[in-house]
Structure 1
Amino acid sequence: MKTNTLLVKNMVCQRCVMAVETILKTEGINYLKVIFGEIELEQALTEEQKTILQTKLAQIGFELIDNYTSAIIEKIKQLVIKRARNEEEIDSRKTKLSIYIATMLHHEYTYLSSLFSAIEGRTIENYFIEQRIEKAKELLIYDQLTLSQIAFQLDYSSVAHLSTQFKKITGLTPTYFKELGTLKRKALDSI
């Protein structure tokens, strides 16, 4: 990690990126780019700038990550969210989740998995399933795709597999959930 790269907890969508960019512009902090969970700065922040940035980020639900363990956990979450939502490169989608994460973070998967479980109290795989189900909920609510299309888009082997996982996580069938609407949706950063 470069000294001029800051990691930000809970940045999981494009609106999050835009909100952070707005804060940086308002505070006159020059940056090269802002992506999910990262701010690449032109130069290191002064202590005063860092304090102001931490305060402004906290006001909108974000947090600067200062320690190495938290940074790794946040990176794992970002990778899992991208994979669950099929937002990574097409070549990466064919790679097993464990290999994908280990390759991207340059650590053994067993180490990453143990660390994630110890800190988060759940496995990476469970977190991945929860993220996929949240995406399925989103697609069901939009009502533009059939259940078969949603299963295909989220790389499920079958509609039955999606339905089984959906019911296990939510307690509802996808069809019943669709009837209920948005009542059961969660924000990505609260999962």
Structure 2
Amino acid sequence: MTLSIRNMVCDRCKRVVREELEKLGLTVGRVELGEVDITNIPSPAELAVIRQMLQANGFDLVDDKKQALVEHIKILLINEIQHLKGERQASENYSTFLERKLGYEYSYLSNLFSVNEGHTLEKYTIALKIEKVKEWLRYDELTLSEIAWRLNYSSVQHLSTQFRQVVGLTPGQFRKATQVDRRNLDALFIKKSGHPDETE
């Protein structure tokens, strides 16, 4: 059985979910961002325990197909932008990439994402890209031109303008700053309840 899990955005998340499920006595197979295969089919009572454990660790079970699709969108974008998986063709923008990978028109994916997440897919993509730009600026190993190209910006000016709008500093000012404003990927958007991926 495959469990769809919300907020699994990094390798540490995969490790925590695997360890916690194994503590519950479940046999865990494949663990990917957003999905875990278990060999046994849990009863409703066991699913409630699994959900409680996941929530205690900042995750949650995804019960409906539309929410699972939204999580799949997030995972694809995180893999491409943060983990540089390279499934997106160099000339392909992110909307075309999502259409190709998921088999739905971008307008449907975008509307579904907005309804389920409370913010636009474009805003989420920009937030992921800006966090990656911050990381690369901190390491000071890439030029702005290289960063712009790797993240599919049309120009360095476009990257710089978007960065300044989101962060409040130019990339150069950020590179020189001593305090770094980096955010966890699972906390890019926070709802009043304090759970990641929720908006006010």
Considering the TM-score relative to the shorter chain, is it more than 0.5? yes
Of 20, 29, 34, which aligns to 1:32? 29
- 1:7-46 matches, cutoff 5 A: 7-46=4-43
CA distance in 2, matches of 1:76, 1:185: 22
Asked if 1:134 corresponds to 2:134, the answer is no
Preserved CA contact (<8 Å) 1:86 1:154: no
Q: TM-score, normalised by structure 2?
A: 0.83
Q: 1:140: how far off? A: 1.6
- 1:14-163 matches, cutoff 5 A: 14-85=11-82, 87-90=84-87, 92-163=89-160
Aligned residues: 188
Q: 1:134: how far off? A: 0.5
**Secondary structure of the residue that 1:184 maps to in structure 2?**
coil
CA distance in 1, matches of 2:13, 2:179: 21
Preserved CA contact (<8 Å) 1:85 1:154: no
Structure that is richer in helix per residue = 1
CA deviation digits over 1:75-127, x for unaligned, max 9?
Answer: 11111222223633445454332232123223222211111122333332221
Percent identity between matched residues is: 39
**Secondary structure of the residue that 1:18 maps to in structure 2?**
helix
Preserved CA contact (<8 Å) 2:80 2:87: no
CA deviation digits over 1:33-69, x for unaligned, max 9?
Answer: 1100111122322233322221221121111111222
Preserved CA contact (<8 Å) 2:93 2:152: no
CA distance in 2, matches of 1:75, 1:47: 24
Amino acid at match of 2:64: N
Unaligned runs of 5+ in 1: none
What does residue 186 of structure 2 align with? 189
Amino acid at match of 1:41: I
CA distance in 2, matches of 1:149, 1:51: 47
Q: 1:5: how far off? A: 1.1
Q: 1:7: how far off? A: 0.9
What does residue 6 of structure 1 align with? 3
Amino acid at match of 2:101: M
Are the structure 2 counterparts of residues 103 and 150 from structure 1 closer, same or farther at C-alpha, using a change threshold of 3 Å? Answer: closer
CA RMSD in angstroms, aligned pairs only: 2.1
Unaligned runs of 5+ in 2: 189-200
**Secondary structure of the residue that 1:150 maps to in structure 2?**
helix
